[in-house]
């Protein structure tokens, strides 16, 4: 697919890194401020989609990109389930037990497992929205070949 004009390309080169950083900020502070995994993941995906739309990409690059994002998506869900299963071994011996030390509320490193769950959910949501976008674009490109 074709990219856009040079003004759009330059602007997105400047902005995409800031959006990526903003997404990571929302994910990591999920247990302190509103947001968390879902909202931060969507913002993260937004930065990637912005880059792809502005610079254009040809078909083979898109397919390679999609296989990468599918891999990240499945891998992060598996790690999430694995973390939930470790609750069976330590702590209260139930699924999803929160057995890391809770720390002082209000600081960044606190609330046990919650920041970890937020991070993996954030990666997963970002990868899955990117996969949806790429799948629809690839379907359109496939016909034009």
Partner 1 sequence: MIVYLLCFILFLTGLYGVITRRNLIKIAISLSIMEFSSFLFLALIGYVDGGVVPIVDMADPVKTYVDPLPQALVLTAIVIGLATTAMLMAVIIRIYRKYGTFDIREINKLRG
Partner 2 sequence: MNPLIPFFVAVPLAGAFLTMILGRFIPHLNKSLATIILLFLTFISFWSLFTTGETVSVYKVGGWEAVNSVPIGIYLVLDGFSALLLCVISCIGLMSVVYSISYMARYSSENYFYALFCLMVAGMNGVVLSGDIFNIFVFLEISTISSYALVAFGVEKNELEATLKYQVLGAIASFLILFAIGFIYWKAKTLNIADIRTAFSEGHDARYYLLVQILLLSGFGLKAAMIPFHAWLPDAHSSAPSPISAMLSGVLIKAIGIYVIIRLFFNMFEITEGMAIVITTLGTLSMVVGVFLAIGQWDIKRLLAYHSISQMGYVVMSVGIGMLLIARGLRSEVAALAISGGIFHLLNHAAFKGLLFLNAGAIEYSIGTRDLREMGGLAKSMPVTSATSFAASLAISGIPPFNGFFSKLIIIVAAVMGHFYFLAAMAAIVSIITLASFMKFQRYAFYNKEQGELKSDIKEVPVPMLASMIILAVICLLLSVLAIPGVRETILSPATDILMDQMKYSSHITGM
Binding site residues, partner 1, CB under 8 A? 33-34, 36, 38, 105-106, 125, 132, 135-136, 139-140, 143
Nearest approach, Cβ of residue 97 and partner 2 (Å): 5
Nearest approach, Cβ of residue 142 and partner 2 (Å): 13
Among 4, 18, 21, 81, binds partner 2 (CB under 8 A): 81
Nearest approach, Cβ of residue 6 and partner 1 (Å): 30
Q: Tell me how far apart the alpha carbons of residues 47 and 61 are, in angstroms, rounded to a whole number.
A: 17
Q: Tell me how far apart the alpha carbons of residues 18 and 15 are, in angstroms, rounded to a whole number.
A: 5
Which positions from 61 to 80 touch partner 2 by CB under 8 A, shown as an x/- string? Answer: ---------xx--xx-xx--
CA-only gyration radius of the chain, Å: 18
86 binds partner 2 (CB under 8 A): no
Nearest approach, Cβ of residue 70 and partner 2 (Å): 7
136 binds partner 2 (CB under 8 A): no
Q: Give contact residues for partner 2 (rule: CB under 8 A).
A: 70-71, 74-75, 77-78, 81, 84-85, 87-88, 91-98
């Amino acid at each position: 697919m074709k990219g856009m004009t040079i003004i759009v390309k330059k602007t997105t080169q400047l902005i995409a890194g800031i959006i990526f950083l903003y997404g990571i900020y929302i994910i990591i502070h999920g247990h302190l401020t509103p947001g968390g995994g879902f909202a931060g993941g969507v913002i993260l995906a937004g930065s990637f989609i912005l880059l792809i739309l502005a610079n254009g990409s040809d078909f083979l690059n898109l397919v390679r990109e999609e296989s990468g994002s599918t891999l990240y998506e499945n891998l992060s869900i598996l790690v999430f389930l694995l973390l939930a299963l470790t609750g069976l071994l330590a702590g209260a011996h139930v699924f999803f037990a929160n057995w890391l030390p809770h720390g002082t509320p209000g600081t960044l490193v606190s609330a046990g497992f919650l920041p970890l769950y937020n991070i993996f959910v954030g990666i997963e949501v970002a990868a899955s929205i990117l996969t949806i976008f790429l799948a629809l674009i690839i379907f359109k490109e496939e016909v034009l070949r």
